[in-house]
C-alpha cells in the first residue's frame, strides 16, 4: 500500500522539537555536569552531595536499629554521622556502606518520580528528607547548608513557574546522578595517596573480609549504574 502525502503535515524529528522542550531535556543535564566537572563549581555545590551522603548513613543507621547521635557537615565539604550500637555486625556494615551510594540511589529514585510526572512529590520528598537531616545536624555550618538547600527547593516547589520547576527537578536529578560518581573517584585518589585511612571503604574492610578496593569498586558500580539508568529515564522522558 502506498503512503499518502498531506501538504500540511510533516514528520517530527529531534530538530523539530519545541525549543522549550529541548532546553528542559538537555539544559539541566548540561548544567549539572558542569557543576560536578568544574572544580570551583564542584567545591560550592558538593555540600548537597555531602548532605545526601550523611543522610544515607543516618537513615540506614536508624533502619538497622542503631541510635543516631547526630550529623555534622563541614565547610571543606566533608561530613560525619555518629550512631551508637554494636561496633561490628550487619547494622554497622550497612550503615558504613550507605554513604557513597546514597546520592546516586536518591537521584535514580527521583528520576523515576520525575518521569512519572510526580515532580512536586519529588520536591516535597526532598524537603522532608532535608528537614529530617536538619533535626539531627549538630553544627552551625551544617544547619546553614541544610536550610539554604531546603529554601531553594521550597521556592522551586511553591513559587516557580511550571517550566522552571520541571527544569530544576530534572537538574536536581542529574546533579545527584553525576554527583554520586565523582566522590567515589576522589575517594580512591585519596586512598592512593594514603590520605583516607579512615574512609568508609577502609572501615568496611576492617568490618568484613572484603578489601577496601572491592568496596570502592562496588560504590563505583552503583553510582555509574544509577547514572546510566537514571540518565536513560530522564532523556527518554
Q: Which 3-state string (H, E, C) describes 112-156?
A: HHHHCCCHHHHHHHHHHHHHHHHHHECCHHHHHHHHHHHHHHHHH
Which pTM value belongs to this model? 0.88
Alpha helices of the chain — where are they, by DSSP H?
19-37, 39-63, 90-115, 119-136, 140-158, 162-179, 182-192, 200-207, 212-236
Residue 18's pLDDT band (boundaries 50, 70, 90)?
low
pLDDT at 6 over 60: no
Q: Which three cell numbers stand for residue 141?
A: 555550618
Per-residue pLDDT reduced to its tens digit, 116-153: 999 999 999 999 999 999 999 999 999 999 999 999 99
Query: For 92-113, what is each residue's pLDDT tens digit?
Result: 999 999 999 999 999 999 999 9
Torsion from C-alpha of 190, 78, 156, 127, nearest 10 degrees: 120
Amino acid at each position: 500500500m502506498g503512503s499518502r502525502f498531506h501538504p500540511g503535515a510533516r514528520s517530527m524529528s529531534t530538530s523539530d522539537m519545541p525549543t522549550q522542550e529541548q532546553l528542559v531535556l538537555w539544559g539541566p543535564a548540561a548544567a549539572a555536569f558542569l557543576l560536578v566537572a568544574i572544580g570551583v563549581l564542584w567545591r560550592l555545590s558538593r555540600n548537597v552531595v555531602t548532605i545526601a551522603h550523611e543522610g544515607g548513613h543516618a537513615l540506614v543507621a536508624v533502619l538497622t536499629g542503631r541510635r543516631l547521635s547526630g550529623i555534622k557537615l563541614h565547610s571543606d565539604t566533608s561530613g560525619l554521622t555518629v550512631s551508637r550500637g554494636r561496633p561490628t555486625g550487619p547494622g554497622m556494615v550497612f550503615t558504613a556502606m550507605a554513604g557513597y551510594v546514597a546520592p546516586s540511589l536518591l537521584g535514580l529514585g527521583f528520576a523515576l518520580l520525575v518521569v512519572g510526572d510526580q515532580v512536586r512529590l519529588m520536591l516535597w520528598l526532598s524537603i522532608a528528607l532535608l528537614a529530617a537531616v536538619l533535626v539531627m545536624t549538630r553544627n552551625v555550618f551544617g544547619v546553614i547548608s541544610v536550610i539554604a538547600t531546603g529554601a531553594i527547593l521550597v521556592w522551586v516547589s511553591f513559587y516557580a513557574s511550571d517550566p522552571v520547576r520541571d527544569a530544576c527537578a530534572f537538574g536536581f536529578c542529574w546533579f545527584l546522578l553525576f554527583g554520586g560518581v565523582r566522590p567515589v573517584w576522589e575517594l580512591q585518589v585519596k586512598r592512593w595517596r594514603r590520605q583516607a585511612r579512615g574512609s568508609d571503604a577502609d572501615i568496611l574492610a576492617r568490618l568484613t573480609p572484603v578489601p577496601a578496593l572491592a568496596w570502592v569498586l562496588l560504590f563505583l558500580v552503583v553510582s555509574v549504574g544509577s547514572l546510566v539508568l537514571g540518565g536513560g529515564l530522564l532523556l527518554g522522558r
